[in-house]
């Protein structure tokens, strides 16, 4: 498919800011999982929108179910006040934990922002945050600009959280711990949305999944999984693809074993993955974070991610090349954000654009851009 490159500034689709927003109690929406009440807010153009924050789409994965597929969502018999962002998922390193936010393994929440008219069937955009499958949460984007730029134009916007780092992608390479828990979270969120969106004025036959960076790679990956592709109709992918170098790799298995060994869960080269997994479930989240800090970086080039998706035989039943031939075609808009990968430029080992090159081989900008394309979309492109 022809690639379309966009210059899209992230601050135009929502960063933090909720200051100055007029808020009041919003309508009560009755869903099959129970009643939900959010906030009524005013957009920049004077229109009103309904904002529902911190809606649980899956139960918290307790220690016994850690590293498994997304737990089932139970029905509520009480009114849920969806008026604040909930705890963020635990990131990959302790350095990313701060005192300004709550972090928890109980983090499988989403936010629904709707036009004031809940009776119409509005198109829906589900946005998946980036962060290398390692960091990020929905509160970072807030809701003010999403309301101003999308909801005010008649679009329902959903932002979702998913498990990150080893808690989201730990894998021992076999059915005991196949990995991809974060992707299962996304699929479960999409299934949940199919159940509830009509009550929020969303059209389940017009759902676009969008994302940036790792969120874009996830949006791309969801199109290839039979567990997710039936719940949406098209994607907008900014700065990432399932074919990107960082999106899929078996190196996550090596890194998972290294973490297990560091935490004392693989002694004497233990081969019984069930014993290793049971031991990992006994470790606290803080112990896991500390263990990741100690095992250090997994790679020295831009493929620096330790924990990420892999072909597991379940979420992804087959190799990508085979799934590419059998997946149902979907419209895709693919592009880049402004100044893509600038924050990583200093980390490129032996970056060609920092070396002198003959003029006929292209200038530094061309070489750097070509490498960025390769990293984010894969060597073959999308």
Q: Tell me how far apart the 2 most distant CA atoms of the chain are, in Å.
A: 70
Assess contact for 11 and 1: CB atoms under 8 A: no
Q: What is the DSSP letter of 345?
A: G
CA–CA distance, 25 with 236 (Å, rounded to integer): 32
CA–CA distance, 246 with 218 (Å, rounded to integer): 11
Cβ neighbours of residue 2 under 8 Å, at least 6 residues apart?
A: none
Catalytic position from the list 171, 213, 239, 241: 213
CA–CA distance, 247 with 214 (Å, rounded to integer): 7
CA–CA distance, 75 with 119 (Å, rounded to integer): 23
- List the structure tokens of 215: 């969120």
CA–CA distance, 258 with 251 (Å, rounded to integer): 11
Q: For tokens 């592009």, what's the residue?
A: 335
Assess contact for 247 and 309: CB atoms under 8 A: yes
The Cα-based distances of 221 to 5, 13, 104, 129, 304 in angstroms read 19, 22, 25, 14, 19
Count how many residues are written for the chain. 382
Q: For tokens 């509160």, what's the residue?
A: 139
Alpha helices (H) along 8-123: none
120 is catalytic: no
Bridge pairing between strands 7-8 and 332-337: parallel
CA–CA distance, 47 with 30 (Å, rounded to integer): 23
The phi and psi torsions of 114 (rounded to 5 degrees) equal: -130, 155
| Active site residue ranges | 213
């Amino acid at each position: 498919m022809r690639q379309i490159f966009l210059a899209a500034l992230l601050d135009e689709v929502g960063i933090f800011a909720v200051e100055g927003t007029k808020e009041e109690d919003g309508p009560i929406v009755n869903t099959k999982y129970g009643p939900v009440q959010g906030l009524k807010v005013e957009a920049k153009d004077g229109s009103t929108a309904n904002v529902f924050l911190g809606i649980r789409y899956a139960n918290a994965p307790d220690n016994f179910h850690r590293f498994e597929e997304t737990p089932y969502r139970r029905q509520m018999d009480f009114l849920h006040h969806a008026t604040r962002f909930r705890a963020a998922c635990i990131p990959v390193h302790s350095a990313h934990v701060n005192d300004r936010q709550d972090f928890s393994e109980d983090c499988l929440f989403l936010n629904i922002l709707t036009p004031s008219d809940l009776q119409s069937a509005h198109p829906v955009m589900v946005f998946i945050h980036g962060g290398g499958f390692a960091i990020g949460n929905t509160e970072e984007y807030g809701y003010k600009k999403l309301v101003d730029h999308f909801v005010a134009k008649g679009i329902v916007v959903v932002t979702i959280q998913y498990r990150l780092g080893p808690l989201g992608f730990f894998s021992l390479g076999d059915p005991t711990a196949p990995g991809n828990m974060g992707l299962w979270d996304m699929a479960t969120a999409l299934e949940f949305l199919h159940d509830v969106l009509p009550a929020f004025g969303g059209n389940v036959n017009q759902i676009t999944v969008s994302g940036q960076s790792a969120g874009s790679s996830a949006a791309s990956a969801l199109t290839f999984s039979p567990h997710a592709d039936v719940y949406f109709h098209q994607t907008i992918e900014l700065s990432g693809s399932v074919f990107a170098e960082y999106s899929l790799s078996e190196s996550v298995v090596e890194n998972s074993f290294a973490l297990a060994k560091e935490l004392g869960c693989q002694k004497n080269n233990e081969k019984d993955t069930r014993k290793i997994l049971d031991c990992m479930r006994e470790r606290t989240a803080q112990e896991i974070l500390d263990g990741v800090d100690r095992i250090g970086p997994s790679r020295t080039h831009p493929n620096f991610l330790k924990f990420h998706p892999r072909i597991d035989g379940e979420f992804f039943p087959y190799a990508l090349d085979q799934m590419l031939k059998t997946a149902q075609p979907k419209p895709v808009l693919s592009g880049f954000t402004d100044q893509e990968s600038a924050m990583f430029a200093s980390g490129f080992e032996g970056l060609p654009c920092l070396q002198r090159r003959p003029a006929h081989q292209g200038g530094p900008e061309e070489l750097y851009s070509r490498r960025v394309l390769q990293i984010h979309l894969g060597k073959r492109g999308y």
